[in-house]
Amino acid sequence: MKCPYCKSENTGVIDSRLSDDGESVRRRRQCEECTKRFTTYERTELSMPMIVKSNGNRTAYDREKIRTGFMRALHKRPVPTDYVDQAINRIEQRIMALGEREVASRVIGEMVMRELKKMDDVAYIRFASVYEDFQRVDDFRDAIQEVKRPGKAKARRAPK
């Protein structure tokens, strides 16, 4: 591993810890040349399927695009970042469980909507309004009625 400061290839691991979710390893490293310390993360690299857009174009899976969608919907909402990370991990697990080489972007969007619905009603409505291309006030009313149905989990609850 190259040192990000001096670019030396002589670095050593001084501490390794498993992340809280068990999905990655955090390593503290020290450069043997400049003695500066830095952190690296090791994650399993999975071969994610290609994403098929609604226009038929194919693109590589991009975790950051999903994160951006969550963060836009959750802007100024009281939902911890950890919940977003956990939701993205669940979505990736579901995508991998499909066992397909290609997955429609629509399928991923629906997974994001389900996760947002568990996290926060306002964020769910925000995302749904763009994702479902709401054109009328009635579209918003219908979505709001859907989240107000009895038995609906409260907003800001930890997803299971």
As given in the structure block, the two tokens for residue 95 are 């995508």
Number of structural domains in the chain = 2
Per-residue pLDDT at 98: 92
In the predicted model, residues of the chain with pLDDT beneath 70 are: 46, 131-133, 149-160
pLDDT at 155: 44
- Whether residues 34 and 64 fall in one domain: no
* Predicted local distance difference test score (pLDDT) of residue 129: 76
Strand partners, 25: 18, 42
- Claim to verify: residue 16 and residue 83 sit in the same structural domain: no
Q: Within this chain, do residues 87 and 103 fall inside the same structural domain, yes or no?
A: yes
Q: How far apart, in Å, do the first and last CA atoms of the chain sit?
A: 37
Query: Do residues 66 and 114 share a domain?
Result: yes
Domain-located, residue 18: yes
- Residues of the domain holding 29: 11-43
pLDDT of residue 152: 46
Task: Tell me if 2 is assigned to some domain.
Answer: no
Q: Is residue 57 part of a domain?
A: yes
Residue 23: closest CA among 39, 40, 38, 42: 42
Whether residues 140 and 63 fall in one domain: yes
**How do residues 118-144 score in pLDDT, each as one tens digit?**
888 888 888 877 766 677 777 777 777
Neighbours of 137 (CB within 10 A): 8
Report CA torsion sign: 33, 34, 39, 43: negative
Q: Note whether 106 and 137 are same-domain residues.
A: yes
Q: Are residues 22 and 71 in the same domain?
A: no
Q: Report d(CA 159, CA 153) in Å as an integer.
A: 10
- Is 26 in the same domain as 98? no
Same domain, 78 and 137: yes
Structural domain contains residue 59: yes
Q: Are 3 and 31 in contact (CB under 8 A)?
A: yes
Same domain as 71, residue 17: no
The reported pTM is 0.60
Helix (H) or strand (E) holding 21: none
Residues 34 and 59 in one domain: no
Tell me, yes or no, whether 55 and 122 share the same domain: yes
